[in-house]
Amino acid sequence: MKKVNIYTDGGCSNNQSKENFGGWGAILEFNGQERELYGSQKNTTNNRMEMTALIEALEALKEKDLEVDIYSDSSYLVECFNKGWYKKWQKNHWMTAGKKPVENQDLWKRLIRDVESFSKVSFHRVKGHLKKDSESDMKKWFEKYNAYNPPVSYARFKEISTYNHRVDALANRGIDEIKGQ
């Protein structure tokens, strides 16, 4: 089965303000080839941009018989799938355990549909904004990464961290472009 790695990030400038600018970025990596995607939206939230990054990446894939590994620094996104929160939300008619409507239902429904359309999908949480020039910081987070995710080599961890920095830059590019409009 073909395997695709997807790295995503989202961000929002002035996240809690009425007027804000959001951006998202994604990199699809397959067989040594890469494709970068990014975009933006006005008056959104950080969580919506994190979700949009993954939706756009998954919907860019034409084949469905794929093994997809998703790398994100969004615990909101990763935990939802790894802990099965969405299954409880669906069962409870899109209400949280606190009996409140689930936020971002429109994106969650689309994302769940997209994720379930692939043969195998795995989510991996990465540390965002990791200081790559600090070897002690990198080793500390490498151990934490391997404790939470399926273990990888230190070289692969550094590669994942580099991709995380790149998708962060793509999300920021989206924010900068929409601010300039």
**Size (the chain), residues:** 181
Number of helical (H) and strand (E) elements in the chain, helices listed first:
6, 5
The single-letter code of the amino acid at 103 is E
Q: Look at residue 180 in the predicted model and tell me its pLDDT.
A: 85
Average pLDDT over residues 33-43: 97
**Which has the higher per-residue pLDDT, 3 or 131?**
3
Return the CATH number of the domain spanning residue range 2-179.
3.30.420.10
Q: Look at residue 59 in the predicted model and tell me its pLDDT.
A: 98
Strand 33-42 to 66-72 pairing: unpaired
Strand 2-13 to 66-72 pairing: parallel
Q: Look at residue 20 in the predicted model and tell me its pLDDT.
A: 93
> In this predicted model, what pLDDT tens digit does every residue of 68-121 receive, in sequence order?
999 999 999 999 999 999 999 999 999 998 999 999 999 999 999 999 999 999
Q: pTM here?
A: 0.94
Give the count of beta carbons closer than 10 Å to the beta carbon of residue 3.
12
> In this predicted model, what pLDDT tens digit does every residue of 125-170 receive, in sequence order?
998 888 777 888 899 999 999 999 999 999 999 999 999 999 999 9
Q: Look at residue 120 in the predicted model and tell me its pLDDT.
A: 96
How do the domains of the chain map onto residue ranges? 2-179
> What band does 41 get if pLDDT is binned at 50, 70 and 90?
very high
How many whole angstroms from its chain centre is CA 20? 20
The single-letter code of the amino acid at 69 is D
* Token couple for 126: 């990465």
Give the count of beta carbons closer than 10 Å to the beta carbon of residue 95.
13
Residue given tokens 């920021």 in the structure block: 172
Q: Look at residue 142 in the predicted model and tell me its pLDDT.
A: 95
Q: Look at residue 18 in the predicted model and tell me its pLDDT.
A: 79
